[in-house]
Amino acid sequence: MKVKNVVLLLGILLGVLCLFAGGTEISLLGFLVAVSAILAALTLFKMFVEAFPLSIGLRIPYRSTFRVLVTANIASLLVVWIPVQALNSFLYSTYMPVPLAPYFRAYPVAAALGSLITFVVILLVEYGVVAGWCRKQQIQTGWARLLLIVLIMNAATHAVLAPARYQMTRPRHDVKTFTDDSSWAQHPLTEIYYLAANGNLCAVMTDGSNNRVVIPDTVRDYQFLPRQGLYLYRNADDALCLFRESDKQIVECGLPLYKYSMNHVTCSPNGQTVAFWQEELSVGYGENCRLMLFNTDTAKQYSTEVTATNQWNDNFPALAWGDSPDILFMKDTKKKPATITSIIISNNTATLHQTEEQPCELAEAYGRFSKYRRYGDDWRGIFYRASNEHVKIRAWTELGSGITIEQGKDRWRIADNPGLLNLSGNRRFRDVSLLENGQEFVFNDNKGGIYLVNIAERKVGQITSGGTFITLTPRYRQNLWEEDDSQK
C-alpha cells in the first residue's frame, strides 16, 4: 500500500475517533481534523463507486475515470457545502415550525427536502464537469445518455450517503416525548410570570391555563412585591416605572443608571418610596452615582447624600428595602467580603446608618436578582443552573447549546443541534428553574418558547410563548445575605 494511502487512512481513523470520543466537548483542532477526514472519506467513496457506471456507460477503462471524478466531486463539494447548505439553512429557519414538538415532527421531511435539493445540484454540477471532460477527450455520447449515466452514478452514492448524512447530522437529544402543550403538568400547579413577545408582563400556570396580561406595557425587566401588589419594571425607554395592581396605574419614577438591573432599584414595603441609583459624574474609568428617592404620593424625585463609585456600571451596590419603610440596605461587592450597610429613610432623605453583620428581614420581592447577567440590549439576570439533592440541571448557550440533566449516574440532554458533529446549536437554551415539587423544571430558549419538563418521564411540552420568567419561590426572592442561588 502506498504511503499516501496509509496517511489518508490514518487521517480518516483519527477523524472518526475525534468524532465519537467526547461528544460535543471537542477541541477546535479535533473538529477541523474530523471534518477534513470525513469529507476526504466521502469524496473517495463517491469517486470509487461512481467510477463503475461511468466506465461502463462510456466504455472506457475504470482507472481513467478517476481524474474527472476527482474534479467533479470537488466541484460539487464546493457548491453543496457553501451556497446549497446556506439555502437549506435559510429554508429551515424560514419554514420550519418554531415550537419544539412540531419542529421535531417536521424535521425528517425538511431533511428529505434538503437532501433532494442537494442531489439535484450535485447532479447538475457533475454533469457539467463530465460533459466538458468528454468533449476534451473526444468521447462521443449524446447528452441524454450522459445525463442518465451521471444520474445512475449519483443515485448509487446518494442511496447510501443520504441516510448516513441524516443519521450523522440530525439533532441529538434524549427526550422521549415532545408535546404541543403542558396540560399534563403536575398539581398543584405553579404560576409563572414572564415577558410575552409584545413585551407585556404576563402570568400563566404551568399547565398553560389562566394565561393573562399583568402589565399592558413594554417591560424589559421587572420585580414583583406580591403583598403590596406592586411591580417595578424597566420600560422600552429604559425608564423605571411602578405599576399598581389595585388601580392599574403606571407611574414613571425616573431614569436610573444607563444599564441597570433589578438589583439596582427597590420599592418600600408600603409602596410610597422607590429608590434607585442615578449616574452623576464620570470619575476616571468609573462612574459616580447618587441614591435617588421617588415619592409616589407627590410624584417627585429627591436627591440624597448617599453616593457610590465603581469601575463597572453593572456592579454598583445592590439595593433592597427592609420590612420597615424607613430602612433601606445596600450591598457593596467591591469589598471582600461584601459589606451590607443600612440606610435610614426619613422625609425623603437618606442617611447612612451602620454596617449590618447579621441578616435582617427584607421586604418580600421577586425578580431576576442574579449577579450573573446577560449582556447586550438588556442586562437581565440569568439562571442557567438549577439543582436539589436528587438532580442537577445546566443550560449552556455556547457551541452545541443544550440542557443536561444529571440524576446520579443517569445523564440525559435536551438539544436542537442539527449539523456535522451536532455542534451548530440551532437554538440557544437559556434559563432553567426547578419547581418546588422537585419533579419538573421550566426552561426557555431564544426562539421565544417557555417549556415544562417532566424529569422522570423525559417529557417536554410548551407552556407558552415568551421568556424572562420567574416563579414566586425562594430562587427568585431577593436576599442580600445568602449566597446567590441563581447558579445552584
What does residue 222 show for φ and ψ, rounded to 5 degrees? -160, 160
pLDDT grade for 20, boundaries at 50, 70 and 90: very low
Look at residue 488 in the predicted model and tell me its pLDDT. Answer: 55
Q: Are residues 272 and 292 in the same domain?
A: yes
The predicted pLDDT at position 63 comes to 84
How much is the mean pLDDT over the chain? 83
pLDDT given for residue 408 in this prediction: 86
Q: Which domain holds residue 418?
A: 171-220+366-488
pLDDT of res. 216: 95
152 and 27 fall within a common domain: yes
Does the pLDDT value for residue 201 go beyond 90?
Answer: yes
Q: How much is the pLDDT for 378? A: 58
Concatenated DSSP letters of 184-196 = TPPSSP-EEEEE-
In this structure, the answer to whether residues 411 and 448 fall within a common structural domain is yes
Residue 448 has pLDDT above 50, yes or no: yes
- Same domain? For 293 and 422 the reply is no
Rounded mean pLDDT, 482-486: 59
pLDDT tier at 7, thresholds 50, 70, 90: very low
What Cα–Cα distance (Å) separates residue 218 from each residue in 36, 185, 215?
Answer: 48, 29, 8
Cα–Cα distance, 405 to 411 (Å, whole number): 6
Top mean pLDDT of 5-19, 46-60, 362-376, 452-466 is at: 452-466
Residues 16 and 65 in one domain: yes
Judgement on whether residues 108 and 215 belong to the same structural domain of the protein:
no
Nine cell digits for residue 97: 415550525
**What span, in angstroms and rounded, lies between the C-alpha atoms of 274 and 295?**
7
Burial degree of 369 (CB within 10 A; 0-12, 13-18, 19+): buried
The CA dihedral of 184, 186, 188, 193, to the nearest 10 degrees, is: -70
**What are 236-292's pLDDT values in tens digits?**
998 999 999 989 999 999 988 777 888 899 999 988 999 999 887 555 445 688 999
Closest to 332 in 3D by CA, of 318, 345, 322:
318
Model confidence at 64, in pLDDT bands (50, 70, 90)? confident
Which of 363, 393, 418 is at the close of a domain?
363
**Claim to verify: residue 128 and residue 184 sit in the same structural domain:** no
Report CA 410 to chain centroid distance, whole Å: 24
- Say what percent of the chain tops pLDDT 70: 84
* pLDDT tens-place string over residues 449-478: 999 999 999 999 999 999 999 999 988 999
Q: Looking at residue 22, what is its pLDDT?
A: 38
* 356 and 371 share one domain: no
Instruction: Using pLDDT thresholds of 50, 70 and 90, give the confidence band for residue 8.
Output: very low
10 Å CB burial of residue 149 (0-12, 13-18, 19+) is buried
Q: Which residue has the higher pLDDT, 376 or 177?
A: 177
Do 88 and 237 sit in the same domain of this protein? Answer: no
- pLDDT at position 260: 83
pLDDT at 350 over 60: yes
Q: How far apart are CA 454 and CA 207, in angstroms?
A: 12
Give how far the C-alpha of residue 90 lies from the chain's centroid of Cα atoms, to the nearest Å.
19
9: pLDDT strictly greater than 70: no
Task: Indicate whether 46 and 161 sit together in one domain.
Answer: yes
What CATH number is associated with residue 327?
2.130.10.10
pLDDT > 70? residue 425: no
Give the confidence band of 484 by pLDDT, cuts at 50, 70, 90.
Answer: low
Higher pLDDT, 233 or 4: 233
Q: How many domains in the chain?
A: 3
Q: Of the candidates 328, 363, 398, which is a domain's last residue?
A: 363
Question: What are all long-range contacts of 41-45, with beta carbons under 8 Å and residues at least 24 apart?
Answer: 41/12, 41/15, 42/161, 43/70, 43/73, 43/74, 43/77, 44/8, 45/157, 45/160, 45/161
The reported pLDDT for the residue numbered 232 is 96
- Same-domain check for residues 110 and 179: no
Same domain flag for 231 and 205 = no
- Which residue, of 363, 392, 417, is where some domain finishes? 363
